[in-house]
Structure 1
Amino acid sequence: MSGLTSSEFVRHAAAALERVRNTRPRVHCLMNTVVQKLVADGLSAIDAIPSMTSSPEEVEAFVEKADALSVNLGTLDSQRRTSITLGVSASARLGRPWVLDPAHCDYSASRATFAQQLLREGTPILRANEAEFWLLQVSDDVVGVRTGKHDVVRKGAQSITIENGHPLTAKVTGTGCLSGAVIAAFLALGEDPHLSAASALLAFGVASELAADHARGPGSFEPALLDALHAISPDDILKRARISHDQG
């Protein structure tokens, strides 16, 4: 874990949250059409600045203005493929950090092929569930985020396991997409991408638990999550963090 102990990493994550709020990074999101508002609202809640256009005529200009890019392959069509290709190429050319969520690539061979092609552009962060993650070939220089009951953030032989989170996140469409965009916001700090991705997931997992404390079910969980992302403090991370790590 880049030489950090577990307690040092937790302190790093708590401080990273404050740095995101202080720097207000711009995150351009190429999201599926179902989740755009939730992702934009969630980024705004942590004081990042979202942009969402997927127009092929505009996407490169928006990526140039952004500090990081978040890409989701949901609701994929020919125009969105073009926009994603343009956005990822621009991000790689400019050296911007970017996150790939290969949503449902295990359902579609053409989507899996597209995801694998995208992973060769720059140095992305892959955020995927178990089935998606193991379907793709992930090189050692790519930070791989494998989500599930516990989230595992791995680069080469080093891994950080985030145990924070709540089952209600799986009941609200778009929470996974939002967590990918939050990772992009933390990556925009320009720090170690492995630590940044893990810090983002720790903050998101703690916010999910805080939200669940006030939710009665999925319908009230979504606004509670936005409130929690807005209100979460470094102390919440320090007090609630449950993580483990393996240096391989």
Structure 2
Amino acid sequence: MSGDFPEQAAEMLQRLRGATPRVHCLMNTVVQKPVADGLSALGAIPSMTSSVDEVSGFVAKADALVVNLGTLDDQRRQAIRLALDTVQDKAKPWVLDPAHCDYSPPRATFAQELLARGPAVMRANASEFVLLSVPDTVVGVRTGASDLVRQGERSLAIENGHALTAKVTGTGCLSGAIIAAFLAVERDAFQAATAAMLVVGVAAEIAGETAHGPGSFEPAFLDALDRIGPAEITKRARVAHAQD
């Protein structure tokens, strides 16, 4: 699969831009703007409300949902549960990002509760990932120097990326939202997640070629998401079968 996957990912990106999917983001409040900007640059339409009075209506009109636990309180827990009721009723795909669950046992418990509600994909870093039991039905994306995408016997490693992404707040949160955007146009969650992480990794490499530090990397990354096309993906892709 890894040999022809870059072409498949490039085709998925073209479909995403043609479809302009709407992604509702129950997002870490610290990173709402960069996530919204990144989705818009890629060709998706973001929405962000976490109001318990509005969230069900917004999710019903969205094509996919991302649930990020980065800034979690009682209202957001209620909004998340309402959003997932709507997702399940409308059979829409969603992504779980259990941000910082490694800092908080109650948050880890809540993340495990949400995993039982059937996300298509969970995206987490290594320290978050190891705390959670990911069902076989859920695609697991473990981000790091190499991004590992796994479901059952299927596993691929995305080796594209740039070290400066770790110095810009919100790049990981954005990758979860971008996975949701790809899920809106690709029914195979494993392929959608892998394509999303490849696009993010290649865009980061392009941005890193002109950035002088995190301050210049952030706008360069946004520009790269806006401009990236099939040629960059197929030329630069480093996708391999995972070893662990």
* Structure-2 separation of matches of 1:13 and 1:245: 16
Query: Match of 1:127?
Result: 123
Query: Which moved further from structure 2: 114-123 or 220-229?
Result: 114-123
* Structure-2 separation of matches of 1:160 and 1:6: 7
Give the one of 57, 64, 71 matched to 2:67.
Answer: 71
Give the one of 19, 25, 28 matched to 1:29.
Answer: 25
Give the one of 153, 160, 177 matched to 1:157.
Answer: 153
Query: Match of 2:181?
Result: 185
Q: Could you list the runs of 4 or more consecutive aligned residues of structure 1 that deviate by over 6 angstroms after TM superposition?
A: none
Percent identity, please: 63
Query: Match of 2:105?
Result: 109
Query: Match of 1:205?
Result: 201
Is structure 2 residue 41 aligned with structure 1 residue 45? yes
Query: Match of 1:89?
Result: 85
Query: Match of 2:225?
Result: 229
Query: Match of 1:146?
Result: 142
Give the one of 95, 107, 111 matched to 1:99.
Answer: 95
Q: How far apart are 1:191 and its partner, in Å?
A: 2.3
Distance 1:123 1:35, change over 3 A: closer
Unaligned 5+ segments in structure 1 are none
Query: Match of 2:239?
Result: 243
Q: How far apart are 1:202 and its partner, in Å?
A: 0.2
Query: Match of 1:172?
Result: 168
- The TM-score normalised by the length of structure 2 is 0.97
- The TM-score normalised by the length of structure 1 is 0.96
Count of equivalent residues: 244
* Structure-2 separation of matches of 1:120 and 1:155: 16
SS of match in other structure, 1:7: coil
TM-align CA RMSD: 1.3
Query: Match of 2:8?
Result: 12
Q: How far apart are 1:7 and its partner, in Å?
A: 2.2
* Structure-2 separation of matches of 1:78 and 1:191: 32
Is the 1:158–1:247 Cα contact (8 Å) retained in structure 2? Answer: no
Unaligned 5+ segments in structure 2 are none
* Structure-2 separation of matches of 1:102 and 1:165: 21
* Structure-1 separation of matches of 2:125 and 2:211: 25
* Structure-2 separation of matches of 1:89 and 1:152: 29
SS of match in other structure, 1:195: helix
**2:15 partner letter:** R
